């Protein structure tokens, strides 16, 4: 590949330069590993100076946090789903959220982040901590809030923390493990919707209160 001189972020446009930095960082983290990647590699691939790299994004750890945070925003409870007021609305919202979670996490890019966290667990434990604290926590927090509301309004019965873990277990089964081991292909959208529907139905049988409307 022919070498190119860094492009000043002001000339390229700061938002575009910042995105190039994050894309380059993510590509190198997942191909080389977090430890083996340095900021000069990232700056070179992104075609920016190291000064611009630090000014626009920060240190290497900041880049990792941003890469994961940007993706984690998609794992929040969708704003356009209203708070459930009966079993039907709870099931509908849970099914939709389950599908969204499956769709995002089975993305090959996200699977590669999990593989990165596993491969770097001993040399760079901050990768796994960041993924757990930002990525996985986002979806769990969304479910915890949902189930706490549903319990307070009498739609479900049981321990909220148990509900979160049980729903995720019903939703995933061994799918994520099989994707991480590269022994399964990513299911298509219809298959993911069926999986979310089955998990929701099983969850409702276990936790839905018998006296709610």
Task: List pLDDT tens digits, range 104-149.
Answer: 899 888 888 888 888 888 888 888 888 887 778 888 998 999 999 9
29 or 42, which is more confident: 42
In this prediction, residue 1 has a pLDDT band, given cuts at 50, 70 and 90, of very low
Smallest Cα–Cα separation from 67: which of 10, 122, 110, 12? Answer: 110
Non-local CB neighbours of 154 within 8 Å, separated by 6+ positions: 209, 211, 212
Q: pLDDT exceeding 70 applies to what percent of the chain?
A: 88
- First-to-final CA distance of the chain: 65
pLDDT of residue 2: 37
Listed in order, strand segments (DSSP E) in the chain are: none
Superfamily per CATH, domain 9-58: Homeodomain-like (1.10.10.60)
pLDDT at 11 over 70: no
pLDDT at 12 over 50: no
Between CA 134 and CA 120 the distance in angstroms is 17
Is the four-CA dihedral 77, 83, 85, 89 of positive or negative sign?
negative
- Tokens 């969708």 locate to 78
The helix (run of H) or strand (run of E) holding residue 164 is helix 160-172
Cα–Cα dist 94/143, whole Å:
9
Tell me the pLDDT of the chain averaged across its residues.
86
**If you search the block for the tokens 């940007």, which residue do you land on?**
70
* Chain-centre distance for alpha carbon 193: 18
Which has more confidence, 4 or 122? 122
List the domain boundaries for the chain: 9-58, 69-207
- Kindly report the pTM of this predicted structure: 0.77
Instruction: Look at residue 162 in the predicted model and tell me its pLDDT.
Output: 98
Q: How many percent of the chain have pLDDT more than 90? A: 54
**Model confidence band, residue 75 (pLDDT cutoffs 50, 70, 90):** low
Token pair 């839905």 in the structure block, residue: 208
Which tens digits make up the pLDDT trace of 46-60?
999 999 999 999 998
CA 179 to chain CA centroid, nearest Å: 15
Q: For residue 67, name the pLDDT band (cuts at 50, 70, 90).
A: confident
- Can you give the pLDDT at residue 41? 94
Domain 69-207, CATH homologous superfamily name and number: Tetracycline Repressor, domain 2 (1.10.357.10)
Torsion of CA 157, 158, 163, 169, to 10 degrees: -110
- pLDDT in the model for residue 164: 97
Q: Which tokens belong to 31?
A: 């191909």
């Amino acid at each position: 590949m022919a070498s190119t001189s860094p492009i000043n972020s002001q000339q390229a446009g700061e938002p575009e330069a910042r995105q190039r930095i994050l894309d380059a960082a993510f590509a190198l983290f997942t191909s080389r590993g977090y430890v083996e990647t340095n900021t000069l590699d990232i700056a070179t691939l992104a075609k920016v100076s190291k000064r611009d790299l630090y000014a626009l994004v920060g240190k290497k750890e900041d880049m990792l946090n941003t890469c994961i945070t940007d993706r984690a925003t998609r794992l929040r409870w969708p704003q356009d789903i209203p708070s459930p007021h009966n079993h039907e609305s709870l099931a509908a919202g849970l099914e939709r959220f389950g599908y969204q979670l499956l769709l995002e996490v089975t993305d090959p890019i996200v699977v590669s982040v999990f593989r990165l966290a596993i491969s770097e667990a001993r040399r760079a434990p901050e990768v796994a901590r960041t993924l757990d604290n930002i990525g996985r926590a986002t979806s769990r927090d969304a479910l915890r809030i949902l189930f706490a509301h549903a319990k307070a309004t009498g739609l479900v019965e049981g321990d909220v923390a148990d509900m979160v873990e049980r729903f995720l277990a019903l939703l995933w089964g061994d799918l994520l493990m099989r994707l991480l081991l590269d022994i399964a292909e990513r299911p298509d959208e219809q298959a993911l919707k069926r999986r979310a529907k089955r998990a929701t139905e099983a969850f409702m049988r276990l936790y839905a209160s018998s006296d709610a409307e």
